[in-house]
Structure 1
Amino acid sequence: MCIINPRVDFAFKKLFGSEENKDLLMSLINAIVSEEDRVADIELKNPYNLADYQAGKISILDIKAKSEKGRWYNIEMQISEDYYFDKRAIYYWAKLVTEQLSEGMMFKELKKTISINILDFNFVPDIDEFHNIYKIINTATGKDDKLHDVFELHYIELRKFTKTGAQIVTALDRWSTFLTKAHQLDKHKIPKELAEDNAIVKAVSAVDRMFDEEERRIYEVRMQALADVESKIASAMDKGLELGEEEGRAEGLYEAKTQIALKLHASGADRDEIANITGLSESEIQQIVQKR
């Protein structure tokens, strides 16, 4: 059985963001995007590097890649519930666009930039479908009119994925099963609906042997930090519900995130790390630190 949870962002980054596993990342991307945006090769722009995470620093957990066609992809795994993730997703998409321009490109050379957000919580309201795609469209026609086609954003909500057995037919079904059921998978007895996919077989085999002692320590620290966040958020939500007001619930949740941010700041965490753990924006973190 897989003892490493691939939904924890640090594990996700090593599994899909390492040079030796580029084939897994390409398989994941191709399972999500349209046929025209599928990749035959990619260049990792921020590959996994243990040195980036030494001394408990967890600050570079999204995966940035550029395809052979010039398209850019940002892939992020988010395990902690964040009511404002839509704003964060747009921010990270915009950052990747800005990075393209910082290479000296002209506006006309901007390439399509696709943001893929895999969430371990429900986020898109009133929709049961677990994969939702957002583009910029003309509200009069309901079409993109071939304008503003550099923007595309995907949400994969794993909590909404409920397929089992014969229902698992697409590559995205198989990857979603892997991410949600890894703890139940045995590399010697992989279910037939997954065993037909070589990328899934490789991922199942890779998960439990991919950490050395130092990496496992960092993984466990990350797991503890996420558990601490979840506990504080749950307490804040309970407090808000006791007040019987949505406003009280939101205030309690924000206060919990504020306390976690201050604790992380005091321990030496940088703003990117604090943002990744709490879901707060960098400007919010700056205001919180300055006020205290």
Structure 2
Amino acid sequence: METTDRYIRFDWAIKRLLRQKANFGVLEGLLTVLLNEKVEIIELLESESNQQTIDDKFNRVDIKAKNSKGEIIIVEIQNTRELYYLERILYGVAKAITEHISLGERYYEVKKIYSVSILYFDIGIGDDYLYHGQNTFLGVHTGDQLLVSTKEKNAIVSKLPSEIFPEYFLIRVNEFDKVAVTPLEEWIEYLKTGRIRPDTQAPGLAEARRKLVYYNMNPKERHAYDEHLNAIMIQNDVLDGAKLEGRMEGLAEGLAEGKAEGKAEGLAEGLAEGLAEGKAEGLAEGEKNKQIEIARKFKEIGLSTEMIIQGTGLSAEEINAL
């Protein structure tokens, strides 16, 4: 059942409203159903979105929080395709670990990291909408998990590596096509459609119904939010166009190569190679021009330079030169 209220998209809320301590309950609800344990956010930590140097590549974390157990949770939302996303989240986790252990401290102080990625693009091939990964050490011949004994505070403690190593959650929002039954499914439905059931019992969603209503924003906030939605639509259109162009170029090259060889085998091989190479080149080699075109459209609709930087990764100098 749909409600008559219009709710703010989670990617916007997480950048604005959910940073307020009074609204922590919404994010705590999502993390509780995702991690299958009660999560209480103690504080929001300084986010890598504030770059320390111009060369710092990791600048897109939306929320970095510490839970009641002292563990660190990174939450980030990606609306558009990124070629090296897995490498980026690995870098982000590694940086979070090193940022929260001071020089001279024991390795005992290393905190476990949970990395939660809410993805609105197709990251690869898979049938599920939720993927979870963590480090485990299994016996090559026995299949058993290694249990490590360590001395902590004058006591011998046994730990599984999974209690120390990071955990990764990839939520593929667009792949969710079920009727929501469980609290987790209700959350994914909200992430995908922006709808929340009026009778929801899912942790955090009832609070979201009260606090994330579109018409509760003032006119200035609503305008900024609407422009955010327009920007996402434009960026996705440009990306789709670049992808299609790459495929068409690959198809043309494949046909040309296949015809030149004059053999059916050559045609098939040329088509396959051309499609693959054309798609890769259309995405990789055209990345810079694509971002410049996106930035130009963002400027036309009046987005700020800061928002354009976040959306394209271009520098302020490159944006001002458009």
Pick the TM interval, shorter chain.
0.7 to 0.9
Deviation of 1:42 after TM superposition, in Å, equals 2.4
* Structure with greater Cα Rg: 2
**Structure 1: which 5+ residue stretches go unaligned?**
48-58
1:168 paired to 2:174: no
1:257 paired to 2:287: yes
Distance 2:20 2:104 in 1: 27
Equivalences for residues 206-285 of structure 1 within 5 A: 206-208=211-213, 209=215, 211-243=217-249, 244=251, 245-262=275-292, 264=295, 269=305, 274=309, 276-278=310-312
Distance 1:254 1:221 in 2: 28
1:157 paired to 2:172: yes
Instruction: Encode CA deviations 1:23-44: one digit per residue, 9 max, x unaligned.
Output: 1111111111143xx4234212
Distance 1:228 1:103, change over 3 A: farther
The answer on whether the counterparts of 2:28 and 2:204 sit within 8 Å (CA) in structure 1 is: no
Distance 1:144 1:112, change over 3 A: farther
- Amino acid corresponding to residue 214 of structure 1 in structure 2: K
Distance 1:257 1:142 in 2: 45
Deviation of 1:117 after TM superposition, in Å, equals 0.6
Instruction: Name the % identity.
Output: 24
Query: Secondary structure of the residue that 1:155 maps to in structure 2?
Result: strand
The answer on whether the counterparts of 2:247 and 2:282 sit within 8 Å (CA) in structure 1 is: no
Deviation of 1:71 after TM superposition, in Å, equals 0.3
Q: Alpha carbon RMSD of aligned pairs, Å?
A: 3.4
Deviation of 1:228 after TM superposition, in Å, equals 2.6
Instruction: Encode CA deviations 1:110-133: one digit per residue, 9 max, x unaligned.
Output: 1101100111233242x3222111
Distance 2:289 2:231 in 1: 13
Distance 1:103 1:212, change over 3 A: farther
The answer on whether the counterparts of 1:240 and 1:249 sit within 8 Å (CA) in structure 2 is: yes
The answer on whether the counterparts of 1:131 and 1:156 sit within 8 Å (CA) in structure 2 is: yes
1:111 paired to 2:124: no
Distance 1:75 1:206 in 2: 20
Distance 1:273 1:191 in 2: 36
The answer on whether the counterparts of 1:229 and 1:260 sit within 8 Å (CA) in structure 2 is: no
1:197 paired to 2:197: no
Deviation of 1:202 after TM superposition, in Å, equals 2.0
The answer on whether the counterparts of 1:17 and 1:25 sit within 8 Å (CA) in structure 2 is: no
Equivalences for residues 67-146 of structure 1 within 5 A: 67-101=67-101, 105-125=105-125, 127-138=126-137, 140=140, 141=143, 143=145, 145=147, 146=160
Instruction: Encode CA deviations 1:209-245: one digit per residue, 9 max, x unaligned.
Output: 4533333333233323322321221111111111222
Distance 1:115 1:142 in 2: 26
Equivalences for residues 23-38 of structure 1 within 5 A: 23-35=25-37, 38=38
Deviation of 1:4 after TM superposition, in Å, equals 4.8
- What's the TM-score once normalised by structure 2's chain length? 0.67
The answer on whether the counterparts of 2:78 and 2:118 sit within 8 Å (CA) in structure 1 is: yes
Distance 1:277 1:211, change over 3 A: same
The answer on whether the counterparts of 1:5 and 1:182 sit within 8 Å (CA) in structure 2 is: yes
Query: Secondary structure of the residue that 1:27 maps to in structure 2?
Result: helix
Distance 1:210 1:144 in 2: 52
Distance 1:98 1:210, change over 3 A: farther
Question: Alignment length, in residue pairs?
Answer: 257
- Amino acid corresponding to residue 128 of structure 2 in structure 1: E
